[in-house]
Homo-oligomer: A and B are copies of this chain.
Amino acid sequence: MPPVDPARERTDKHDLILDAAIDVFAEKGFHHARISDIARRAGVADGTIYLYFRNKDDVLLTIFEEKMGILIAGVRVALEGITDPMQKVRVFARYHFRQVEDHRALAEVLQIELRLSNKFLKEYRPEKLWEYLGVFATIVREGQEGGVIRPDLDPFVLMWAFFGALDEIAMQWVLAKRRDKFSLEATADTVADVFIRGMAGMEPTAGSEPSRPRTVEET
């Protein structure tokens, strides 16, 4: 008699390995993580990992692909029904930090290890990251079309800047020895607030005119 649901069975082991890998990668880093570490934590034999993944790199990439897919779906759900772009920015920030808080190990892996891949797995294009960040870029564009965000700002620059801000803060939170040192939720509001005001529309503060920024004197 076969298992109740072989597909489910397979999925279980696949996921089992991925979850073990996330923990191990987060703990020791991708390069220091051994396949045998992942296997042991997943409760399978070393060779079994190669039944589900081509190699160690493939494990990392699959983590990225699958987990980012969930993240993207999640942020879309979180934004559903919200019409105010500025409110969307706040929700995005909070959602991001919520995920970091709930999936600390995953956050570590995605933040740090993936950059390695991004750079060294030459052929790999992190489409999923672009898709996730594209959600933010779309918010910005909608805000610009709605007149609440200045149209002269490049959505892509804002996208990277916003993500970089969130990412760096998440990193510091992850690295912090006392994890409760600061509240990610409150921080989300701070960051969202600064960006919202910074991107905000055409009504410039009264009585001020931009100064020419001085050129930086090179050292």
Contacts and interface: CB of A to CB of B under 8 A. Distances in A.
Interface string A151-175: 0111011101111111111011001
Contacts of A119: 29, 108, 112, 175
Q: Mostly helix, strand, loop or mixed at chain A's interface?
A: helix
A54 interface: no
Contacts of A152: 212-213, 215
> What is the count of identical protomers in the complex?
4
Contacts of A32: 118, 120
A110 B149 CA distance: 33
Nearest to A91: B216
A95 interface: yes
B171 A115 contact: yes
A31 B119 CA distance: 12
A205 to B, nearest CB: 5
A196 interface: yes
Contacts of A44: none
Contact of A172 (B78, B120, B160): B160
A195 interface: yes
B198 A209 contact: no
A158 B163 CA distance: 14
Contacts of A212: 152, 210-211
Interface stretch (A4-12, A14-22, A185-193): A185-193
B214 A91 contact: yes
A210 B189 CA distance: 12
Contacts of A28: 118
A194 B115 CA distance: 26
Contact of A169 (B31, B120, B161): B161
26 contacts: A28-B118, A73-B219, A78-B216, A87-B213, A98-B216, A112-B115, A121-B175, A152-B213, A153-B190, A157-B191, A157-B216, A158-B194, A161-B168, A161-B191, A164-B165, A164-B166, A164-B171, A193-B198, A200-B205, A204-B208, A205-B209, A206-B207, A207-B208, A207-B211, A211-B212, A211-B213
